[in-house]
């Protein structure tokens, strides 16, 4: 994103009512309000599907508004990618997100996208405002200038990135597990009416308990999705974490693509079909496949194994994000530098769908071909 070098995420997370309380939230929102008012920065407030997220977001919005900060609120669940897109397009200059990432459902938190500073913004906390807004907050209609639609612009971005006409007229069946998070409904909305490709969603309800699972593909292994894709002999299944950053992918045999395979599939598709070049960052593993060098020679791309792929991706993005083609972490978080400045699982899943539409067959065929080329055991 354009402001990536100047803004960074600060996070406060903990267990409901034990570490995270309403009083603690009020103090941290007030600290952000004091900072933004002094810098005359606007702020976007959003939440995901976590328990009480919408109420806490409305409460934070009211506190910022009382403090004189120009503030907008997204009233529907949003992913990190949606929030960052609004910042990139300069609709707002900072953001507060009521989220605990992909932690278990009994966690809550506040994530703040603020100007990078030497001091942690939540380190020294002021007193909560007196009087404070009532809680639960009144759910009165938002003023038009404060209503922030994040989903619409994000859907438009996805339509620009992938060839939706090709995907729509292909006869694919893709299972999608949004893990009860904000990615729910994205694929059906992208396909629209009359498409020959079908997106079958499971766990699509905005469940604050995340179906009592940890909302991360790497943590759960998404057994239900794998079973459904295998039994229906579908083209592919994708699981998208609750924060929208991590991706799990399965083929019609129920086998899961590794982070290395995910990175290489995306990279070779972007190189061939989108004519893009750049770094390919993958998690380091002691037993890297022997055929990686041959894959590099065939694609003209360079694979960069890293013991800290998230840090390496962040470094490349801060320097020049267009230099990064694909970066995938050990948790399956894919960053596509030409299209996004941070991990975006829905975008990566859509590009994998485009890859299958371009090449024909199912994901299994693409994985078998890749494994043969890199000599993956």
Distance CA 351, CA 367 (A): 15
Dihedral sign for Cα atoms in the order 90, 93, 96, 99: positive
| Pairing outcome for strands 173-177 and 43-47 | unpaired
> Which pLDDT value is given to residue 305?
97
Q: Which CATH class is domain 7-149?
A: alpha beta
H/E segment holding residue 45: strand 43-47
> Which pLDDT value is given to residue 123?
82
> Where does residue 233 fall: left (phi above 0), alpha (psi -120 to 50 degrees), or beta otherwise?
left
Distance CA 286, CA 164 (A): 39
CATH code of domain 153-374? 3.40.120.10
Cis peptide preceding 71, ω within 30 of 0:
no
Instruction: Sort 90 into a burial class: Cβ within 10 Å, 0-12 / 13-18 / 19+.
Output: exposed
Give, rounded to a whole angstrom, the gap between the first and last alpha carbons of the chain.
Answer: 38
Distance of CA 357 to the CA centre of its chain: 23
> Which pLDDT value is given to residue 165?
98
pLDDT in tens, the chain (377 residues): 334 447 899 999 999 999 999 999 999 999 999 999 999 999 999 999 999 999 999 999 999 999 999 999 999 999 999 999 999 999 999 999 999 999 999 999 999 999 887 678 888 888 877 788 889 998 888 899 999 999 999 999 999 999 999 999 999 999 999 999 999 999 999 999 999 999 999 999 989 999 999 999 999 999 999 999 999 999 999 999 999 999 999 999 999 999 999 999 999 999 999 999 999 999 999 989 999 999 999 999 999 999 999 999 999 999 999 999 999 999 999 999 999 999 999 999 999 999 999 999 999 999 999 999 998 65
> Which pLDDT value is given to residue 2?
38
Strands (E), 169-298: 173-177, 198-201, 236-240, 247-250, 279-283
> Which pLDDT value is given to residue 377?
59
**What 3-state class would DSSP assign to 75?**
coil
Q: What stretch(es) of the chain map to CATH 3.40.120.10? A: 7-149, 153-374
> Which pLDDT value is given to residue 5?
40
> Which pLDDT value is given to residue 117?
78
């Amino acid at each position: 994103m354009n402001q990536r070098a100047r803004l960074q995420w600060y996070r406060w997370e903990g267990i409901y009512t034990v570490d995270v309380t309403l009083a603690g939230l009020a103090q941290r929102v007030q600290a952000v309000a004091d900072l933004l008012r002094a810098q005359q920065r606007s702020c976007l407030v959003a939440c995901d599907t976590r328990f009480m997220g919408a109420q806490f977001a409305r409460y934070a919005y009211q506190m910022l508004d009382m403090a004189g900060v120009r503030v907008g609120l997204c009233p529907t669940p949003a992913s990190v990618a949606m929030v960052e897109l609004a910042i990139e397009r300069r609709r707002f200059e900072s953001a507060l997100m009521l989220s605990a990432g992909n932690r278990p459902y009994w966690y809550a938190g506040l994530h703040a996208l603020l100007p990078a500073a030497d001091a942690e913004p939540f380190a020294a906390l002021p007193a909560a405002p007196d009087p404070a807004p009532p809680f639960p907050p009144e759910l009165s209609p938002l003023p038009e200038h404060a209503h922030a639609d994040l989903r619409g612009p994000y859907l438009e971005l996805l339509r620009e990135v992938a060839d939706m006409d090709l995907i729509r007229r292909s006869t694919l069946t893709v299972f999608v597990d949004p893990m009860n998070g904000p990615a729910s409904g994205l694929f059906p909305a992208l396909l629209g009416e009359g498409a020959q490709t079908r997106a079958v969603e499971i766990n699509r309800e905005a469940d604050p308990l995340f179906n009592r699972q940890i909302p991360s593909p790497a943590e759960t292994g998404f057994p239900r999705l794998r079973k459904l894709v295998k039994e229906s002999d579908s083209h592919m299944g994708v699981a998208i974490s609750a924060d929208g950053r991590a991706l799990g992918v399965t083929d019609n045999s129920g086998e899961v693509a590794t982070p290395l395979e995910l990175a290489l599939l995306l990279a070779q598709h972007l190189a061939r079909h989108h004519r893009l070049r750049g770094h390919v960052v993958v998690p380091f593993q002691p037993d890297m496949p022997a055929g990686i060098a041959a894959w590099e020679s065939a694609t003209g791309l360079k694979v960069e194994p890293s013991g800290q792929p998230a840090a390496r991706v962040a470094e490349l993005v801060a320097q020049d994000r267009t230099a990064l083609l694909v970066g995938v972490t050990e948790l399956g978080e894919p960053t596509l530098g030409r299209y996004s400045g941070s991990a975006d699982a829905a975008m990566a899943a859509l590009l994998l769908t485009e890859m299958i539409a371009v090449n024909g067959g199912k994901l299994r065929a693409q994985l078998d071909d890749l494994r043969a080329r890199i000599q993956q055991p």
